[in-house]
């Protein structure tokens, strides 16, 4: 665990957790593992397209959440790294497909041209498909030091999360809701918990599964993750209005343009910010029994509302 300095704070409490150093270190470890995970092969074009988006940067929040949870529950970073990489592969493939002209039609992502703008729509679809399949292969073949039944649980959970019960389902309802002015809060909740929340929850839960956490601990971790997942999406909706294209690395103001229902459009900006803060507090409350060791997950929850990109 990284602290601002090694000494105890003057008030006797443990020193503040230095999230920016922690994120920097973890991000570098994840980037290196991702780079190693997918070497170039034949046909080169498809491997290049897959690597282009996988190694394009981003916050790497999903793998970091998985690693942090595994460590919190007594596991090691090595046990969780293949799953952490697979989670980023799945997230990246969902971004590639989301950016396609048939879906959100975006030209920029993570500050770079989108995959289809560089490689063409045909290759972008296949790059997404390639990453989707490889994520499962990678967890199954590369996970070490974890009992096989836990790995099987992780693979099942990943499949459920990205399929029609998760990301795909959320995307379908999102596409069907576009341009409709009468979207109810219930529908918006469905979209966000499936499109965004499901994968964030799975990152945390898989970290717990790999470490052998008890069912009761997994329950707590799930509640933590559901709360940060919804808060993450509320902040995403707010940033779409308040941040610039340079800050976001993608086109800003897309939701208004596409006449999408969002939390700020339903509740207003201030109430949305307050709701996100409330959810983060609720998430942090779930970690109470884990004490001092949950500092990385607490800091990651706070990062979600404080982020500007």
The rounded distance, in Å, linking the Cα atoms of 231 and 164 is 23
Specify the residue, 210 or 231, whose C-beta has the smaller distance to ligand GRG: 231
Least distance between ligand GRG and beta carbon 20 (Å): 16
- Given candidates 37, 94, 265, 295, which one binds ligand GRG under the rule CB under 6 A? 94
Q: Residue 108: enclosing H or E segment and its boundaries?
A: strand 108-109
Residue 85 binds to ligand GRG (criterion: CB under 6 A): no
Pattern 153-192, binding to ligand GRG, x per CB under 6 A? ---------x----xx--x---------------------
Cβ-based nearer residue to ligand GRG, 91 or 150: 91
* Residue in the block written with tokens 């999230």: 19
The verdict on 106 binding ligand GRG (CB under 6 A) reads no
Query: At CA 195, angle to CA 200 and CA 150, rounded to 5?
Result: 40
Stretch that binds ligand GRG, among 33-41, 97-105, 203-211, 269-277 (CB under 6 A): 97-105
Contacts of 297 (CB under 8 A, 6+ apart): 65, 68, 69, 72, 204, 224, 287
What is the rounded CA–CA span in Å between residue 48 and residue 42? 10
Please state the separation of Cα 193 from the chain's center in Å.
12
The answer to the question of residue 132 lying near ligand GRG (CB under 6 A) is yes
The one among 34, 53, 98, 205 contacting ligand GRG by CB under 6 A: 98
User: SS3 for 39?
Assistant: coil
The helix/strand/coil state of 250 is: coil
- Biggest CA–CA distance in the chain, Å, is 60
Q: How far is CA 118 from CA 47, 125, 176, 256, 297, in A?
A: 13, 12, 28, 26, 36
Q: For residue 112, what are the β-bridge partners?
A: 109
Instruction: Select the residue interacting with ligand GRG from 51, 110, 157, 273 (CB under 6 A).
Output: 110
Q: Among residues 97, 150, 220, 260, which is the contact residue for ligand GRG, using CB under 6 A?
A: 97
Tell me, rounded to whole angstroms, the distance of Cα 268 from its chain centroid.
25
Give least dist CB 123 to ligand GRG, A.
16
234 is an interface residue for ligand GRG by CB under 6 A: no
The answer to whether residue 61 forms part of the interface with ligand GRG (CB under 6 A) is: yes
Residue selected from 53, 69, 177, 196 as contacting ligand GRG according to rule CB under 6 A: 196
Residues that bind ligand GRG (CB under 6 A): 58-59, 61, 94-95, 97-98, 103, 110, 132, 162, 167-168, 171, 195-196, 236
């Amino acid at each position: 665990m990284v602290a601002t300095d090694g000494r105890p704070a003057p008030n006797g409490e443990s020193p503040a957790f230095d999230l920016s150093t922690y994120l920097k270190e973890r991000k570098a470890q994840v980037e290196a593992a991702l780079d190693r995970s997918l070497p170039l092969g034949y046909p080169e074009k498809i491997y290049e397209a897959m690597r282009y988006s996988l190694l394009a940067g981003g916050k790497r929040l999903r793998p970091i959440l998985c690693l942090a949870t595994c460590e919190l529950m007594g596991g090691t970073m090595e046990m969780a790294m293949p799953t952490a990489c697979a989670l980023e592969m799945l997230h990246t493939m969902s971004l590639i497909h989301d950016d396609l002209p048939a879906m959100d039609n975006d030209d920029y992502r993570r500050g770079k041209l989108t995959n289809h703008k560089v490689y063409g729509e045909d290759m972008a679809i296949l790059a997404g498909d390639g990453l989707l399949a490889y994520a499962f292969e990678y967890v199954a073949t590369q996970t070490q030091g974890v009992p096989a039944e836990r790995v099987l649980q992780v693979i099942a959970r990943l499949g459920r999360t990205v399929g029609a019960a998760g990301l795909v389902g959320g995307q379908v309802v999102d596409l069907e809701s576009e341009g409709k002015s009468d979207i109810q809060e219930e529908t918006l909740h469905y979209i966000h918990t499936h499109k965004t929340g499901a994968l964030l929850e799975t990152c945390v839960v898989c970290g717990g599964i790999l470490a052998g956490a008890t069912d009761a601990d997994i329950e707590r971790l799930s509640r933590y993750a559901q709360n940060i997942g919804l808060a993450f999406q509320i902040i995403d909706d707010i940033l779409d209005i308040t941040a610039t294209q340079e800050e976001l690395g993608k086109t800003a103001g897309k939701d208004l343009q596409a006449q999408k229902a969002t939390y700020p459009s339903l509740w207003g900006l201030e109430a949305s910010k307050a709701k996100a803060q409330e959810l983060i507090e609720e998430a942090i409350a779930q970690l109470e029994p884990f004490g001092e060791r949950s500092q990385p997950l607490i800091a990651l929850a706070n990062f979600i509302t404080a982020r500007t990109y």
